[in-house]
Structure 1
Amino acid sequence: MHLITYHSKHTGFTLIELMITITVLAIILMIGSSLTRSWIDQSQVNNAISSIQNAISQAKAKAIRNKNNTSFNEAAASVCIYPWQDSLEPKPKTVIKVVYGSCPLDEPDDALQSFELSNITIQQGTSSLNCLDFNYVGTLVSGSTCSSTANPTLTIGKNNETATIIIR
């Protein structure tokens, strides 16, 4: 008499194998998501730099036209940053506007150009930047709350991503 033996081959995964696989996938997802956040922040900082440089170019062009016949020490056009930043904390939304003359305290409705940025800080040195005034030659003039440095260095940032530009 022959004994018939059945060897049951187990198919599938054990609980340990599944736990290890899930753990490895979770680690990979965590690393990937943190890299993606950094990439998005840097992209938004780059977008802010482009917007600021565009606003400065527009303001200089408007200032050189000198529509209001301003003197050398007066603002012919300005780059205004709203809401006015009084601390280093980022505001939920920053709006950059180009206007003729100096920046009004309240956000103007009749801006020549407008750019919206979210959660971006714009600093000159250790203080927040509120505006840049340009005279009819296209150079910076001092304003009541504006930068009066000849070639200011601006630091634009979001979370841990920052970039620096020098205005000439």
Structure 2
Amino acid sequence: MSRRATGFSLIELMVTLAVMAVLALAGMPFTLQWIDSNRQMQARNLLWEAVSQTRSLALRNPEHVTGTAVSARLQHSGRSLQVLRGAGNEVLWQGELPRGGEYRLTGADDYADADELQASGDLMSCVAFDNRGQRLPGAASCSSAATHSRIAIGMNSQDPLYVDLL
């Protein structure tokens, strides 16, 4: 009696690898969308925290400003977010946004899709708050329109998410 060695042939292994490669390639777009969605949620949460920190600092009013003077401001540059005291440069909180995001100041109307968000020109750079926690649209250190009440967050082809400035 001869015993034959059992196992997989080279052809069986190659077919299995080919099927796995096709399945991996088919799942790649879904994986990329999931990653973009995750980054967009991280950015929204970080912006929400930054706005909350800025308003909280403005309400504490450590500079004892009055009237319509800037009590606290939120600055965005590149991927960096910073909460600054008054009109000065002292950083009291900072965070780093995920790569590939679009951050725009917007009003109450939603953007239809990611393309409309990317086509708009209102990049978020700075938002100032007074000692009552109210946004100062015409502040000298942060000039944003009075109609801007939210930050729109876009990530590649994802529909925008929003953070209210209140």
TM-score range, shorter chain: 0.7 to 0.9
Task: Indicate conservation of the 8 Å contact 1:72/1:137, yes or no.
Answer: no
Task: Indicate conservation of the 8 Å contact 2:76/2:124, yes or no.
Answer: yes
1:111 maps to 2:109: no
The number of residue pairs the alignment matches comes to: 148
Q: Report the residue type matching 1:116 in the other structure.
A: E
What is the RMSD computed on CA atoms of the aligned residues? 2.8
Q: Which one is further off, 43-52 or 17-26? A: 17-26
Q: What residue in structure 2 maps to residue 90 of structure 1?
A: none
| 1:1-16 aligned within 5 A | none
1:56 maps to 2:37: no
| Structure with max Cα Rg | 1
d(CA) in 1 for partners of 2:39, 2:67: 36
Structure 2: give runs of 5+ residues left out of the alignment. 107-119
Please report the TM-score for the alignment, with normalisation by the length of structure 2: 0.73
Q: What residue in structure 1 maps to residue 115 of structure 2?
A: none
Displacement after TM superposition at 1:20 (Å) = 5.0
Please report the TM-score for the alignment, with normalisation by the length of structure 1: 0.72
Q: Report the residue type matching 1:123 in the other structure.
A: R
> In the superposition, relative to structure 1, how do residues 146 and 43 fare at CA in structure 2: closer, same or farther (>3 Å)?
farther
Structure 1: give runs of 5+ residues left out of the alignment. 1-8, 84-93
Q: Report the residue type matching 1:118 in the other structure.
A: P
Task: Indicate conservation of the 8 Å contact 1:129/1:146, yes or no.
Answer: no
Identity of aligned pairs, percent?
25
d(CA) in 1 for partners of 2:146, 2:14: 60
Deviation string, structure 1 residues 8-59 (Cα, Å, up to 9, x no partner): x9x8878876665444322210122222221111111111111111111111
